[in-house]
Structure 1
């Protein structure tokens, strides 16, 4: 299990540092309905992350072949996923440099006005972004590669989910408990994210993609 944990940690951190869910969280928490909408968004994010990784692990178990052939196929899929992450990171950096600082998607500016059910659905849907799917697929393959019992696999899925969603969960819980203390921090984070998060996220994708490729080649 130790090897699987070491593979999951960088993948989960890359998911946690994704700019879109963090930005959505901040906009929700700066709105008037931050408690209800924040909890709805958190639950959607948790369930979506858990489901995508669990499905990826199940799909990895279903790959055909004998044990050695299965391991080789898992390695090839990991190389493909890692290469896709690197390519996605490079494309993101290229778009960022052409567009300048820019701004996020227009719906992010309005997310604070959405209802609880809507932000719950958005939390689920954000796990269908290409980056989220690739990271979940790599995590699922890392879990499959460890060849553990069902209970251990479930624990690894929960472990990934907790780390990957911590940048959504921690601010939401902290803001509900300490709203006055958190508001200036949220405003400061909003400015920093607008300026730097895309570049940081793209660089993380390139690094993590290279890591996944290396894991796949060593399988």
Structure 2
């Protein structure tokens, strides 16, 4: 179990630092509808995280087990491909930041603040199925599946993964609903900072996580 946790922790951190769900959280909390939308958004995000990692773990279990003492070739190749895809995603994001500096919130994301409870739940759930989210989910599913865990161990790993991944959405929601006036200026500062820097930060995180996953894949060959 500890080996699976070691593999899954950096992936969970990458998910937690993803700028899109964090920005959507901030915009919901700054909107007049936060009392109706924030909690459904959090539930949708957490449920989506669990669904993606469980489906990916079940899919990874379908990979044939290698013969004893033979390299885990299939898993290693899959991890290398995922790691390379994340690095490519990071490079593309970085190049976009050079040619088009941040400063504006996309219209579709800005509209999140106008959503009601059901729409907020649906958006949060769907955000887990973005290409980057799916790549990270596959990597997390491989870590769970390759840990050779029983049901209890797999559940613990998935709970830890979900708790870390959802922390940057859950914490602002909980604190803001408890003390909205105190949090509002902090949310505005965070919104402005993410708007300016999200592409660069995303690129750096994806490069680091991609390299980690590539290294894990190479170790299996």
Q: Which residue in the other structure is 1:141 paired with? A: 142
Alpha carbons 2:25, 2:38 under 8 Å: kept: yes
Q: Larger deviation: 60-69 or 98-107?
A: 60-69
- The structural deviation recorded for 1:98 is 1.0
**Correspondence for 1:44:** 44
Unaligned runs of 5+ in 2: none
Root mean square deviation of aligned Cα: 1.3
TM-score of the superposed pair, with normalisation by structure 2: 0.95
- Structure 1: stretches of 5+ with no match in the other structure: none
Give CA deviations for 1:19-53 in whole Å, capped at 9, x if unaligned. 10000000000001112200011000000011000
Task: Look up the SS of the partner of 2:173 in the other structure.
Answer: helix
Contact in 2 for aligned 1:71/1:145 (Cα 8 Å)? no
Matches within 5 A, 1:195-210: 195-210=196-211
Equivalent residues in 2 for 1:158-177, closer than 5 Å: 158-177=159-178
Q: How many angstroms does 1:104 deviate by?
A: 3.1
User: How many equivalent residue pairs?
Assistant: 219
> Alpha-carbon deviation of 1:134?
0.5
TM-score (norm 1): 0.96
1:14 Cα deviation after fit = 0.6
Bigger helix fraction: 1
> Which residue number in structure 2 is paired with residue 6 of structure 1?
6
CA contact (8 A) 1:93 1:202 kept: yes
Distance 1:119 1:217 in 2: 40
Match for residue 30 of structure 2?
30
Query: Counterparts of 1:98-113 in structure 2 under 5 Å?
Result: 98-113=99-114
Give the Å deviation of 1:66: 3.6
Aligned to 1:211: 212
Post-superposition offset of 1:72: 2.2
Which deviations, in whole Å up to 9, do the C-alpha atoms of 1:178-209 show, x marking residues without a partner? 11111111011111111112211111001100
